[in-house]
């Protein structure tokens, strides 16, 4: 596949927006500092020609950015390794291109090296942070008339919930409908208190360095070639994993372990087996927890920013592999359950008291970035997209035929998504070192049965 004639422009808010420096919350400062890519594929539409489609997308984006104006701004590095958001309406970077194949010519619409040509890349190494757009997108037309929409949104500005809120509202505006729910943009509701919000002292091990392979350096593991696989789980297989977890260890609720807890435990166990760890090998599992409804009071509806904290489950590979699935699921539930209002406020206050936050970034894998902690072998990160409103982005030419994560190339990075058929099936999008992937897939399915 070849992609031709990439042309670009900056799309700015059509109306005047608030300008100035917007302070970021502590949770914005310490997660993934790169852009998070997603991609949508659409069939051919006979209703409008291509130039009209492009102009409609740009015009509606310009209108939507009036409400989501932080996405039209830029980041700036300030003292203490911290970032702030300059709301200056510089705009989003919009590219359009065409390719020489039909949609049906793609072997799969799932993540592959082809995505690198359909989703804009960001040169973090050679571009000053003040010049990097926070929203970058590419619309690519296929020979058949279908097209892809590849989006990359800065994770400093928006987490998954906020990013999909933006996409949903942009699609509504593009269809000619009014905005449904404006974003809540005041981040002071998640900023550290003065005096501190909580007096409880909690040790936050999640901000320490993750384990490395025994007798090896994490840097060596970082350099290993990775590959991506999409592992499909039928509704029956999902229930088998839940039953295994609940039969082998009594859960603390009448509903038993969740799909996420059981599948994540299965991913963690399988990675330890496929990587052939020594029994005494320390291993960590990174889990992202949405705090919007954990706070008291809950965060305002459609809070726009990062409402996520990362918690870490730990163990030794011998324990993870030899103990029943319910035991491993229990370790996951234990760290998730500790996230409440008091815990989140203790995280915020802990971060506020740090002299330099630059060393607290990249705690979870993202897009192969070499910055910060490496969370690959012997560790994994499992992010749930099960609660996100992923599907149904209709910009006026019908809903997408496929939507999913973009390129992700960091060892141990995984996502759990709904199957597109809506039949209870799930998909695990996994990045792993190439030398371990075939063993992982074999063990992953064998152990379910």
> How many Å apart are CA 331 and CA 336, to the nearest integer?
9
413 is catalytic: no
| Distance from the first to the final alpha carbon of the chain | 39
Is residue 154 within 8 A of residue 48, CB to CB? The reply is: no
Q: Which among 312, 279, 310 has a CA at the least distance from the CA of 210?
A: 312
Where in 282-395 does DSSP place strands (E)? 282-290, 308-316, 380-384
* Residue 9 CA: distances (Å) to CA of 30, 54, 68, 96, 136: 31, 12, 19, 9, 10
* Six token digits for residue 96: 């359009």
Asked whether 282 and 316 are in contact (CB, 8 A), the reply is yes
Please tell me which residue in 67, 155, 408, 436 is annotated as part of the active site.
155
Sheet holding 426-433, edge to edge: 226-233, 426-433, 413-418, 380-384, 282-290, 308-316
How far apart are alpha carbons 25 and 130 in whole angstroms? Answer: 19
Q: CA dihedral in degrees (155, 159, 162, 167; nearest 10)?
A: 60
Measured in residues, the chain has a length of 449
- Note the Cα 34 to chain centre separation in Å: 10
Q: Is 394 a catalytic residue?
A: yes
d(CA 315, CA 25): 31
Active-site residue identified among 394, 418, 439, 447: 394
Rounded CA-CA distance 68/180 in Å is 13
The label of the residue with tokens 């996994």 reads 430
The answer to whether 198 touches 342, Cβ cutoff 8 Å, is: yes
Do residues 375 and 222 lie in contact, with contact meaning Cβ atoms separated by under 8 Å?
no
Q: How far is CA 376 from the centre of its chain?
A: 16
Q: Would you call 235 exposed, middle or buried from its count of C-beta atoms within 10 A (0-12, 13-18, 19+)?
A: middle
Only one residue has tokens 């409400």, namely 67
Neighbours of 71 (CB within 10 A): 26
The residues assigned a catalytic role are 155, 394
């Amino acid at each position: 596949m070849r992609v031709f004639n990439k042309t670009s422009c900056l799309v700015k808010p059509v109306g005047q927006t608030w300008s100035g420096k917007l302070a970021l919350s502590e949770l914005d400062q310490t997660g993934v500092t790169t852009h998070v890519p997603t991609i949508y594929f659409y069939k051919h539409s006979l209703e409008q020609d291509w130039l009209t489609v492009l102009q409609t997308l740009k015009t509606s984006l310009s209108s939507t950015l009036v409400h989501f104006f932080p996405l039209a701004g830029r980041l700036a590095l300030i003292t203490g390794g911290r970032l702030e958001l300059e709301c200056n309406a510089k705009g989003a970077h919009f590219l359009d291109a065409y390719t020489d194949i039909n949609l049906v010519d793609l072997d799969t619409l799932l993540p592959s090296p082809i995505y690198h040509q359909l989703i804009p890349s960001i040169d973090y190494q050679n571009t000053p942070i003040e010049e990097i757009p926070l929203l970058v997108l590419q619309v690519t037309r296929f020979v058949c008339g279908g097209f892809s929409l590849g989006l990359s949104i800065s994770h400093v500005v928006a987490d998954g919930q906020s990013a999909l809120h933006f996409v949903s509202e942009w699609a509504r505006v593009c269809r000619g409908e009014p905005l449904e729910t404006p974003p809540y943009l005041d981040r002071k509701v998640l900023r550290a208190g003065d005096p501190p919000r909580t007096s409880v002292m909690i040790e936050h091990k999640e901000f320490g360095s993750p384990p490395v392979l025994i007798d090896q350096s994490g840097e060596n593991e970082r350099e290993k070639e990775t590959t991506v696989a999409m592992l499909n789980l039928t509704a029956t297989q999902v229930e088998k994993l839940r039953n295994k977890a609940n039969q082998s260890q009594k859960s603390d609720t009448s509903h038993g372990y969740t799909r996420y807890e059981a599948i994540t435990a299965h991913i963690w166990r399988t990675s330890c087996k496929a990587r052939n760890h020594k029994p005494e090998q320390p291993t960590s599992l990174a889990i992202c927890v949405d705090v919007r409804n954990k706070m008291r009071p809950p965060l305002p509806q459609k809070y726009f920013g990062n409402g996520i904290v990362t918690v870490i489950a730990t163990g030794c590979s011998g324990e993870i592999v030899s103990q029943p699935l319910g035991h491993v699921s229990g370790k996951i539930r234990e760290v998730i359950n500790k996230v409440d209002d008091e815990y989140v406020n203790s995280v915020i206050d802990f971060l506020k008291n740090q002299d330099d936050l630059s060393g607290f970034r990249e705690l979870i894998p993202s897009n192969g970035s070499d910055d910060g902690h490496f969370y690959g072998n012997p560790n994994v990160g499992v992010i749930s997209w099960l609660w996100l409103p992923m599907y149904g982005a209709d910009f006026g030419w019908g809903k997408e035929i496929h939507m999913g994560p973009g390129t992700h190339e960091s060892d141990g990075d995984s996502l759990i998504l709904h199957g597109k058929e809506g039949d209870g099936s799930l998909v695990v999008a996994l990045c792993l070192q190439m030398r371990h992937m075939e063993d992982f897939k074999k063990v992953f399915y064998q152990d379910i049965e």
